[in-house]
Structure 1
Amino acid sequence: MTRLVDLTAVMDPAHRALVPAEFPRFDRIVAPLISYAPPETAGREAMMGIYGCPVEHLPDGDGFGSDLVTEMTTHCGTHVDAPLHSGRTVEGRPARTMSDIGLEELFRPGLVLDVRPWALPDEGIPVSALEQAIAATGQEVEPGQAVLVRTGQERYTNDQPAFYHYPGMTGDGTRYLTGLGATVLGTDALAWDRPTPVMVQAYRETGDPRQIWDGHFAIRDREAFIVQKLVNLDRLPLSGFMVGFFPINLPRTSAAPCRAVAFLDD
């Protein structure tokens, strides 16, 4: 018997208003706008217009339910980043888009790295923490594996400031995991890197280009797919499960929202 664990965040439009001002344009990656057209109101009027029928010809006076989704980026909610998100070239070759990625590449054995003891708000997760988290699994990272980094952000919801001050991955940490063979890199944080305001401040203070989005840019050295905004990592064992990330089939995009599901054998 296989048990399914949903790792996908709910894209609730109500969460858009909760995004702090220092995260401009993040509202559209948290959730889309949704205009609802339920069967008893707008859906009914639409169906009456299409068919030219009176309301009494509809069962219980109901039309169809139909909803309009707008202001949604390809990086909205739980999503998969294609290599193109990190630049035009990866490993010296043209970066792949979502169209180029097969579903079998996104259905992989999973490994949870619990880095909560070392994860600090607004700071990068050190390689030493990743090493200790891997050791705690009793496994080694296998080539082609999905590595899911549990930072503990499941403690927070969108209406709490701590949700936006998450620990992030660095370029060194990303290259460490891809160097071990991981091809899918997931996180329960809002983003893979440190928070944008933190990186901006670090760059302006130091002028060091390594402070600019270094976790994502590390994918240019060795290809991997980044998955952000995972939930329910606390419901998974550290190893011994399969995990699938099933993106919307969008052509030539740099990312796509996905349904992330873990498959556990009871």
Structure 2
Amino acid sequence: MTRLIDLTYPMDPAFRETVPLPALAAIVGPTVKWYAHKDTGRDMMLELFGCTEDDLPDGEGMAGEVLDDFGTHCGTHVDAPWHSGTTSEGRPARTISDIELSELFVPGMVLDVREWARPGEAIPVHALESAIAATGRAIEPGDAVLIRTGQERFPISDPAYFTYPGMSGAGTRFLADQGAKILGTDAIGWDRPIPVMVEAFRKTGDRAEIWDGHYAIRDREAFIVQQLDNLAALPPTGFTVGFFPLKLIGTSAAPARVVAFVD
């Protein structure tokens, strides 16, 4: 029997109140306009059908919601190569609608790097090598490699959730060069936190400090998935994982339902 394990982090409008930077609000949850059964939803039914409230069961109309002010990178989402630039591997970068669904339903493996993960720091390549060895198999071409940093222990209301361990350009290229096509993390971001990168660049002037994990996709195409959840429920290997993004045309990313299929 196959077990389904949901790896998707919820999106909740209440999460917007927890973010340390206002600009991050749109990546954790939408604003919502609620259409309730006994007010807006009821009034819509009365207008559509020309009926009275007595014609509706218990006087109730339809429920509905209008989502507003949230981005394509909200919640658990898949980044297309277009997010990192107009080219990838010297070719025009693909958008989310250019990616075939078959590319997003692949064998997965979990790299447990909690031993080496430090808040705000990049996960070193040697840690990735050790974590791969611990799974008992090498990365195969097309694999989804999911990085377990341990961020699941923090609720989104905890400031520590936003001072996550990140990936460097070197680490990203290392995984992509091994054949990984999908690069996932339980952190809210793939790179180091933005304030950390900003400080490093201002101190050194080194442009390699700027968003180096994402920019690595310009060299070797891969799809980055951020804000995964529930990686602790997965075995190291032996499962298939499906990343099912919204079918948005021409965008750099899309929110996704991510599900692991474990025999």
Q: TM-score range by the shorter chain?
A: over 0.9
Equivalent residue number for residue 100 of structure 1:
98
Structure 1 runs of 4+ off > 4 angstroms? none
Provide the rounded CA distance (Å) in 2 between the counterparts of 1:42 and 1:193.
43
C-alpha displacement of 1:40: 2.6
2: CA distance, partners of 1:257 / 1:3: 23
2:211 paired residue number: 213
Distance apart, 1:77 and its partner CA = 0.5
Corresponding residue number in structure 1 for 2:117: 119
Find the aligned partners of 1:38 and 1:236 in 2 and give their Cα distance: 38
Matched, 1:238 2:245: no
Cα deviation for residue 39 of structure 1 reads: 1.8
1:250 to 238, 248, 251: 248
**What is the RMSD computed on CA atoms of the aligned residues?**
0.7
Deviations 1:52-80 (A, max 9, x none): 21111011211111100000100000000
Could you tell me which runs of 5 or more consecutive residues in structure 1 were left unpaired when the two chains were aligned: none
Q: CA deviation at 1:148?
A: 0.1
Alignment-mate amino acid for residue 10 of structure 2: V
Report the Cα distance in structure 2 between the residues aligned to 1:118 and 1:136, rounded to whole angstroms: 14
Looking at structure 1, the residues matched to 252 and 89 of structure 2 have their Cα atoms a distance apart, in angstroms, of 17
Residue matched to 2:181: 183
CA distance in 2, matches of 1:47, 1:59: 12
TM-score by length of 2: 0.99
Match of 1:204 in 2: 202
2:72 is aligned to: 74
Look up the SS of the partner of 2:94 in the other structure. coil
Q: What SS does the corresponding residue of 1:25 show, helix, strand or coil? A: helix
The Cα shift of 1:99 comes to 1.2
| Counterpart position of 1:260 | 258
Equivalenced residues, count: 263
Give the match's secondary structure for 1:26: helix
Aligned equivalent of 2:143: 145
- 1:156 corresponds in structure 2 to 154
Normalised TM-score (structure 1):
0.98
CA offset digits 1:180-213 (Å, max 9, x no partner): 0000000000100000000000000000010000
Q: Distance in 2 between matches of 1:189 and 1:234?
A: 13
Alignment of 1:14-93 (within 5 A): 14-20=14-20, 23-93=21-91
- Letter of the structure 1 residue corresponding to residue 103 of structure 2: E
* Identical counterparts, % of pairs: 61
Note the C-alpha offset of 1:173.
0.2
Instruction: Find the residue that maps to 2:255 and give its secondary structure.
Output: strand
Q: CA deviation at 1:41?
A: 2.4
d(CA) in 2 for partners of 1:61, 1:113: 54
